[in-house]
Amino acid sequence: MKRNNNLKDPSKRYIDLVNEGYPSLGLFPKKKRLRAIEFFKSKLNEEEFVIEELASGFILIGYLYQEIKDYENASFYFDKGYSLGKDILFSYDSGLKKILKTYLKANRKDLYDYWRADFLKRGQYDKKFNRLLNS
C-alpha cells in the first residue's frame, strides 16, 4: 500500500502522522491494525489537515479495515474518503479494483455502482481509469 496515497504535496505533519501510525509493511497482528485504526481516527479528528490529506487518511483507515476483513467499516471509510475528495483530480491507482470489490463484499452494491461510475468518468483526464471497465 502506498503510504501517502499519491498525494502531490503532503504536509510534513501528514507524512509524520502516517509514518508514526502505520506499522511497517508486511504482516502484523490484527491488534496492531486496530491500534493503528484508532490512532488515525483520533489524529484525523484532533488535528487540522487539508481536504486531500483528510480524504487520504480516511482511505488509509479503509485499507486497514480491509486488511482485517472488516468490509463494512472499510466500505464506510473508503466512501468517506472518496466523498471528501470527490472534486479532486487524483490519478488512477490499481488498488481501486480492490476497493470496488470491498464494496461488494460488504453488500454495498449501491456504493460499488456509484464509485465505479465516478472512477470511470475520471477516464476523461486519466485513461488508466478505463481499466475498471471489466471490474
Q: What is the pTM of this model?
A: 0.83
Query: Which one, of 127, 104, 115, 8, lies nearest residue 56 by Cα?
Result: 8
Which band of pLDDT confidence, cut at 50, 70 and 90, is reported for residue 46? confident
Tell me the average pLDDT across 11-34.
73
Confidence (pLDDT) at 27: 53
pLDDT digits (tens, 9 = 90+) for 67-115: 999 999 999 999 999 999 999 998 899 899 999 999 999 999 999 999 9
